[in-house]
Structure 1
Amino acid sequence: MDGVICHTNPFHSIAFQRFFAKRNLNPTQEEYAEHMYGKNNGYILSHFLGRKIEGEELALLENEKEGLFREIYKDEVNPIRGFMEFFAKLKSEGLLTAVATSAPRANLDLIIGALGIGNQMQSQLASEDVSKHKPDPEVYLKSAANLGVKPENCLVFEDSFSGASAGLNAGMKVVGVLSSHTKGELPNCDLYIDNYEKLEIATLLSLFD
């Protein structure tokens, strides 16, 4: 979802800046790029706070930071160029679609709700729905099970190293969305796109030949 449906990372950075500023911390954009994009909050908070954050403390801190993000982003929801048209093409072909995010359910509800596509997603999984986070393939394997589709017949769109790795680890084809990282910063994907403009269904189907 983040960096794949909407380019949310700049807004997550703002939320984290405000969150960390309260704690007299000021990570650089380079540090955010390396240790935030595509990572789960347990990892992010543990890294920047310099100690293991888990359990009830993680839930409290995550709720604080994600609340900041939703307040900042609620009036800024804007899909990546061409996404809505591409999604409409997928649905017109009768293809099953799922969202599998490391973000909390409230973020998923905000973004998918704002775009009005929730009723067209046959599976919606957020961080609360898995015990292991990307690059572990759990969220993608659960998504495939929800869709009733074999993993090898699934195609994942991902913008981060951990996310693309999760898709590959699930035995799925992966399209790297270059919204946050370069090709060299991602594992070896089956296809790379800058955005969804001019992306054809036939091109995606050819990945399975």
Structure 2
Amino acid sequence: MKAFIFDLNGTMIDDMEYHTSAWLRLLNNELGGSFTWEEVKKEMYGKNPEVLVRIFGPERFTAEKINSLSIAKEKQYQAEFLPHLKLLPGLHEFLEAAYQKNIPMAIGSAAIPFNIDYVLDNLNIRHYFKTIVSADDVVLSKPHPETYLIAAERLQVPAANCLVFEDVPKGAEAAANAGMKAVIITTTHQPPEFDGLTNILHFSGDFTGEFYNKILYN
């Protein structure tokens, strides 16, 4: 592989529980819903506006209201998660080793820049990434391949030579649709949930283990 592309939430940091909690509070307490944890978790992919439209339909909110709800949800998430913000085990060492080997790296996330900046700047890891593709950079969210194809183009590396790190089935599907192999971090979804996807090389709970040495040094 000539380049690495990382999803962010749930892949680099174990924060999806906090996203789910923030969504659940917004949907039920502020918007009058009666959703369960599992129902909310199932809908948490793509851009925030897409989540709201999937749940409430296209006519419920104005674009301005959707934006304000999205920011309110992210502020709640950030406040709750900040004391726990850290990279998954082994990831800092992996990023540093890849950086020293001049392997180009990117972030390809459905998060808004407000959330990506929160992670990169609080953890001081922005320098590892040559480019960042956020929700603001794409028209179509995962599982459409646009996020990962833009990242590959900006890295100037053919899609087939990019390895994606993901945590959700829709993200792994996006990698497959882009012609990319994927490594799955099992923070929120387990291997059986990825059945049918043939582009997955490895499952692991974090970035430790011999597999990560092999893809760096072989």
**Ranges in structure 2 where 5+ consecutive residues have no aligned partner:** 1-7
Answer 1 or 2: higher relative contact order, Cα 8 Å, separation at least 6.
2
Distance 1:164 1:2 in 2: 14
Residue in 1 aligned with 2:33?
A: 25
> C-alpha displacement at 1:111, in angstroms?
0.3
Q: Secondary structure at the match of 2:173?
A: helix
Report the AA paired with residue 192 of structure 1.
Answer: F
Matches of 2:201 and 2:217, distance apart in 1: 12
Structure-1 residue corresponding to 2:48: 41
- Residue 51 of structure 1 is matched in structure 2 by 57
User: Mind listing any 5+ residue stretches in structure 1 that lack a counterpart?
Assistant: none
1:185 Cα deviation from its structure 2 partner: 1.0
Task: Specify the alignment match of 1:165 in structure 2.
Answer: 173
How do 1:45-194 residues align onto structure 2 when only pairs under 5 Å count? 45-48=52-55, 50-52=56-58, 55-186=63-194, 187-188=197-198, 189-194=200-205
In the alignment, residue 14 of structure 1 is paired with which amino acid?
S
184-193 or 117-126, which deviates more: 184-193
Moved more, 111-120 or 53-62: 53-62
Deviation at 1:73, TM superposition (A): 2.3
Tell whether the 8 Å contact from 1:98 to 1:143 is kept in structure 2 after alignment: yes
Moved more, 113-122 or 103-112: 113-122
| Aligned partner of residue 139 in structure 2, secondary structure | coil
Contact 1:174/1:190 (CA < 8 Å) preserved in 2?
yes
Inter-CA distance 28–205: structure 2 relative to 1 (3 Å threshold): farther
Kept after mapping to 1: 8 A contact 2:98/2:216: no
The superposition leaves residues 28-56 of structure 1 with CA deviations (integer Å, 9 ceiling, x where unpaired) of 121122111x33312321233x2225633
Identity %: 26
Q: Provide, for residues 84-123 of structure 1, a one-character-per-residue CA deviation record: whole Å limited to 9, x for no partner.
A: 1221221122211101110110100000111211012001
| Inter-partner Cα distance in structure 2 for 1:62 and 1:3 | 19
Aligned equivalents of 2:147, 2:157: Cα separation in 1: 14
Whether the 8 Å CA contact 1:42–1:54 is kept in 2: the answer is: no
Kindly indicate whether residue 20 of structure 2 is the aligned counterpart of residue 13 of structure 1: yes
CA drift at 1:165: 0.8
